[in-house]
Amino acid sequence: MTQKKYDAIIIGAGIIGNSIAYELALKGYKTLSIDKLGGSGFGSTAGSCAIIRLYYSSPEGVALAREGYYYWLDWPKYLKTIDPAGMAYYKNTGAMVYKSEHNKNLAPVMESLDALGVGYLELTPEEMKQYLPNPDLRSFHPQKRMDDPDFGKPTGKSINGAVYVPESGYVSDPKLSTHNVEIAARNVGSDFMFNTQVVDILKKEGRAAGVALKDGTIIEAPVVVNVAGPHSYIINRMAGVEDKMNIKTRALRVEVAHVPSPAGVDWENTGIITSDSDTGVYTRPEVGNHVLIGSEEPACDPLDYVDPDDYNKNFTDQLKTQAMRVAMRIPDLPIPNKDQGLVDLYDVSDDWYPIYDKSDLPGFYLAIGTSGNQYKNAPPVGSFMSELIQYCESGNDHDKTPLQYRMKYINRTLNIGFFSRNREINQDSSFSVIG
């Protein structure tokens, strides 16, 4: 069988994979994206809350998120296309992040925001009330499980206040946004194969040389990129690179709850994003006048690392626990008996920071360990991963002299070595979805 010749194969057609394909294609690479599911964004991207927020524990995290934010504002212009299936869009809501000892009362975040010139308001508990329907602003920290008799009992008179960042929001439809990128990439020559599983990474003369598919087909290319989301560690094992990485990735099972807004409150149109480190949950307004609730992994909650091909897709007590943690804060929030929401996977790295890097196998690249918080960064990640591939393929040693990437919107340099597979575990991390 004669095949098209590809310059790069991208394993995974999620938001990150497609962004890399698009950016590589813009640089003239002939790319092939392969996904075992039926379409773009059908993997963990489909379950994403798609929140675009700026608070991260590291200055690099804040800067990258700010850079990403501008791409979402510019979406159709960036993709230079209109997808007939519709275009995803960014909806600005503002985000309120609660201060706590846990996040050093947000001092590092405010410092990063100041450095970038991003506007924000520091709110006292009293001032927070204008953003929330009838809240209870006592402290409930540390969090407990629902069966603990002290669950929901206040532990302090007041939380410490919050930081409100007006330029924050979410993308209307993460799956559609990934399809948008597919269309943009196809326009510049990328190919896509769906319902196709990669089962091995080919090697030739000490380099990656392509992939083997489940049906036995072999596709050759000098560059292979692992963007397999929660399956990333499986692909790394195929390539034989996992043992050589200091930071590893695993699939974490998570639940997201949907509950109706309090009666009389139009949360869908007037609600904000909240990140409450005191109760350990984050929220986002959801269509149908619902509140969508994710966990910030408080210490009492066990982390459920699973086999990404065989895990419990039913709700557990975790879902209600998360809903109840918001209900502590918003006493009028109704909690239906029937659980609603979703179960999905994060690809979590040892320090909850992503790995954007080369690997010990020349030609084999990594964009993994996205730890539940990298949707927003996908476009700039696509951009610097394509530069990284060019940089390494033209003979540079990224491990010794890491690529310095220019973020075009915020006009700053990002040291891509920050995302190295061989870094020490970053102790500044929140070790949670916050990153």
Partner 1 sequence: MQIYICVKHVPDSAAHITILDKNRIDESISFLLNPYDEHAVTEAAKIKNNTPDSEVIAVCLGKNDAEKTIRSALAMGADRGILITCDKNYDSMVTALALKAAIEQDGTPGLIFTGKESIDAEGMQTMFRIGAVFDFPVATNVVKLDIEVDKAVVDCELSGGITNTYEMSLPCVLGAGKGLNTPRYPTFPDVVKSKKKPVQKIVFTDLNIKDSPAGMRIVELEPLHQARQPKEIKGDAGFVAKEIIRILKQEAKVL
Closest distance between partner 1 and the C-beta of residue 315, in Å?
5
Of 22 and 160, nearer to ligand FAD (C-beta) is: 22
Pairing of strands 8-11, 223-226: parallel
Q: Is the peptide bond before 149 cis (omega within 30 degrees of 0)?
A: no
Residue 231, classed as helix, strand or coil, is helix
3-state secondary structure of 357: strand
Which token pair is 320? Answer: 């209600």
Select from 9, 15, 185, 201 the one that contacts ligand FAD (CB under 6 A): 15
User: Is residue 335 close enough to count as binding partner 1 by CB under 8 A?
Assistant: yes
Under rule CB under 6 A, residue 105 binds ligand FAD: no
Residue span binding partner 1 (CB under 8 A) among the ranges 12-20, 231-239, 301-309, 326-334: 326-334
Closest CA to 178 of 75, 93, 96: 75
Judged by CB under 8 A, which of 328, 355, 392, 407 binds partner 1? 328
What does the buried/exposed string (b/e) look like for 145-184 if buried means 16 or more CB atoms within 10 Å of the residue's CB? eeeeeebeeeeeeebbbbbbbebbbbbebbbbbbbbbbbb
Does 47 interact with ligand FAD (rule: CB under 6 A)?
yes
Q: From the CA atom positions of the chain, what is the Rg in Å?
A: 21
CB of 258 to partner 1, least distance (A): 12
Rounded-to-integer distance, Cα 135 and Cα 332, Å = 8
Asked if 17 touches ligand FAD (CB under 6 A), the answer is yes
Least CB distance from residue 213 to ligand FAD, whole Å?
8
Place of tokens 């004669």: 2
Total number of residues that touch partner 1 (CB under 8 A)? 20
| 327 scored as a contact of partner 1 (CB under 8 A) | yes
What is the DSSP code (8-state) at residue 366?
E
404 secondary structure, DSSP code = E
Q: How far apart are CA 278 and CA 296, in angstroms?
A: 10
- The stretch among 83-91, 216-224, 227-235, 332-340 that binds ligand FAD (CB under 6 A) is 227-235
Q: From CA 98, how far away is CA 358, in angstroms rounded?
A: 36
Residue 256 partner contact from partner 1, ligand FAD, none using kind-dependent CB cut-offs of 5 to 8 Å: ligand FAD
Q: Does 369 bind ligand FAD (CB under 6 A)?
A: no
Contacting ligand FAD (CB under 6 A), which of 93, 274, 373, 386? 373
On whether the CB atoms of residues 44 and 201 are closer than 8 A, the answer is no
In the complex, the residues that contact ligand FAD under the rule CB under 6 A are 11-17, 34-37, 42-45, 47-51, 197-198, 227-231, 254, 256, 294, 344-346, 370, 372-376
In the complex, the residues that contact partner 1 under the rule CB under 8 A are 152, 260, 313-316, 324, 327-328, 330-340
